[in-house]
Amino acid sequence: MTRVKRLRERRSRGVAMVAPVEVGEGGIDLLIRNELLKHHETRDRKAVGKACLAALEQWSMGRGARTVGQGPRHIVKLS
């Protein structure tokens, strides 16, 4: 598929921008804890991408990340 065709397809779906995102172990753990990603999917780029998109959609609807005190460290939790 050509770049122009992909761009047109994305725009028709309402995609404003495509950007590479680096997800570390903490982000993967966060997605798993919030049941957006299953443990066996952690090496699947498409599954991780879908989980990240779901997290962003929740965040945009007011169900975003918040920190919950857990002693000296904090856990970021999607609610």
- Residue 63's pLDDT is 73
Interval 9-60: pLDDT, tens: 888 988 887 788 889 999 999 999 999 999 999 999 999 999 998 998 888 8
CA dist 77 and 54 (Å) reads 14
Q: How many helices (H) and strands (E) does the chain have?
A: 3, 2
Say whether 56 sits in a helix, a strand or coil. helix
Contact 31, 55 (CB under 8 A): yes
Question: Higher confidence at residue 7 or residue 66?
Answer: 7
- Residue 1's pLDDT is 67
Q: Is the pLDDT of residue 5 over 80?
A: yes
CA dist 47 and 79 (Å) reads 20
